[in-house]
Amino acid sequence: MSTNIPAAEQRSGSSIGKVVFASLVGTAVEWYDFFLYGSAAALVFGPLFFPSSDPVNSTLLAFGTYAVGFAARPLGGVVFGHFGDRVGRKRMLVMSLMLMGVATFAIGLLPTYAAIGVAAPILLLICRLAQGFAVGGEWGGAVLMAAEHGDSERRGFWSSWPQAGVPLGNLLATAVLYVLALVQSDSTFESWGWRIPFLLSAVLVLIGLYVRLRLEESPVYQEAKAEIAEKKHEASHMPLIEVVKTYPKEVLIAMGMRMAENISYYIFTIVVLSYAGDFLEVSTDLILQMLLVGAAIQFFLIPAIGALSDRVGRRPLYLAGAIGVGVWSFFFFGLIDSMESGKVLLAVVVGLFFHSLMYAPQAAFFSELFGTSVRYTGASVGYQLASIFAGALAPIIAVALLRNGDGDPTNVAIYVCVASAISVIAVLLAKETRGSSLRHDRVVRDAHR
């Protein structure tokens, strides 16, 4: 691995530390909001907003609005990516956090179907679209701020911290739901208790905004913007078009790599709640406890694996994770069936370990695929477009497979294996990017000609 790091690419520990902390906090807040919806969809949104004589149908309808949030994510990625590549990463990160906060707080105030009829799920759908749009712009900006401020030798480590914001957000959401389950009866939680974690998000958003507003713009981005202004008319800089023309292979590779990572995560953390409640017909308290422990462990796993990717490369870890989730899915549900705390914890922790092997190096990997002038757009489009086919549909497909199989999870495991095969192929087609400089840009190069 090269040790020739450009001087401008090196930053003091305090500078990169501040950037990483801001990215971590903001990402954790956004994903707290996003995961909270998924957990609520599995637990209470079905009967409250989509009442039906069949609880499984209610859950499927609730997961339908959950999926809509994913459908809005590519649009958010395109819009925030476009302006993030044109006017800067920092402004877009602040705007995405504000939008997410408003949408999540509004969900906590929504009347239910019993109060206003069909208008309730419509309003819920609108809020979910806003959440998806916001989180679509969040990921690219957060990881790029960390990647572009850090040095090439430790980029895997630094850029993995925003990724750790995802389990931290999940940890916060699951912890709040678990505490409420302990202090409230089921009827109280379904009546009004579920609103509390959504309203609490306002406090977290204010903290996130305070931290993010203190950030400085990425120096690598500022240099690229100056080059674009010098070599082509700035108004003609259209990041989405330039990504499609210049980096089509990289977008497809990123999408393929996302399939196993995204699908397995929602199977292991969201679908498992529905599986326990609707098909095993047992309390979800134990699952929530183990998900809480699993999220805490994954929070520390991700930066450790990110650092490992700086030593052994992104590809081998990603390949191990993609293969691992496919194999583990056949053991996962059998361990959940036991409803023994040790076995359930093993199912969750091992599943999240294999997921982390993909998710930890992913931020650096995707950042290194694209040139600076279109990096926000390229990384966001590849990452978010895949989410429509992966995470958006994963709960719906999994619950449908469980219902059609009378609760037998074998077909769900096969579904994860198919996703794993797609990701393995994508990783094999990708080049190893460890240690590469972010100062590469085909768009700027082509503008010279």
Any domain includes 372: yes
Statement: residue 1 has pLDDT above 60: no
Question: What would the pLDDT profile of 226-256 be if each residue is shown by its tens digit?
Answer: 766 665 555 556 788 888 888 899 999 999 9
Q: Is the dihedral of CA 93, 99, 103, 104 positive or negative?
A: positive
Residues 319-342: tens digit of each pLDDT? 999 999 999 999 999 999 999 999
- Angle between the 155-183 and 341-369 helix axes, to the nearest 10 degrees? 140
CATH of residue 310 = 1.20.1250.20
Task: Give yes or no for residue 5 having a pLDDT over 50.
Answer: no
Residue 4 lies in a domain: no
Q: Say how many Å lie between the first and final Cα of the chain, rounded.
A: 31
What does the longest C-alpha to C-alpha distance in the chain come to? 69
206 inside domain: yes
Angstrom distance (rounded) from CA 263 to CA 414: 12
Q: In terms of C-beta density within 10 A (0-12 exposed, 13-18 middle, 19 or more buried), how is residue 226 classed?
A: exposed
In a domain, 191, yes or no: yes
What is d(CA 22, CA 29) in angstroms, rounded to the nearest whole number? 11
Say whether pLDDT at 106 is over 90. Answer: yes
Any domain includes 282: yes
What is the pTM for the complete model shown? 0.82
| Count of helices and strands (H, E) across the chain | 20, 0
Residue 174 CA to residue 415 CA, distance in Å, equals 26
Is the model's pLDDT at 364 over the cut of 50? yes
Domain, as residue range, for 112:
14-213+233-447
In this predicted structure, the answer to whether residue 343 has a pLDDT above a threshold of 70 is yes
Q: Is the pLDDT of residue 163 over 70?
A: yes
Angstrom distance (rounded) from CA 161 to CA 58: 36
Tell whether the torsion through CA atoms of 384, 291, 105 and 29 is positive or negative: negative
Query: Is residue 67 a part of any domain in this protein?
Result: yes
Residue 47 has a CB neighbour count (10 Å cut-off) of 17
What's the number of domains the chain is made of?
1
- Evaluate whether residue 5 is within a structural domain: no
Looking at the domain assignment, is residue 173 inside a domain?
A: yes
What is the per-residue pLDDT for 233? 52
- The model's pLDDT over 29-55, given as tens digits with 9 standing for 90+, comes to 877 877 788 778 777 788 888 887 677
Summary mean pLDDT of the chain? 84
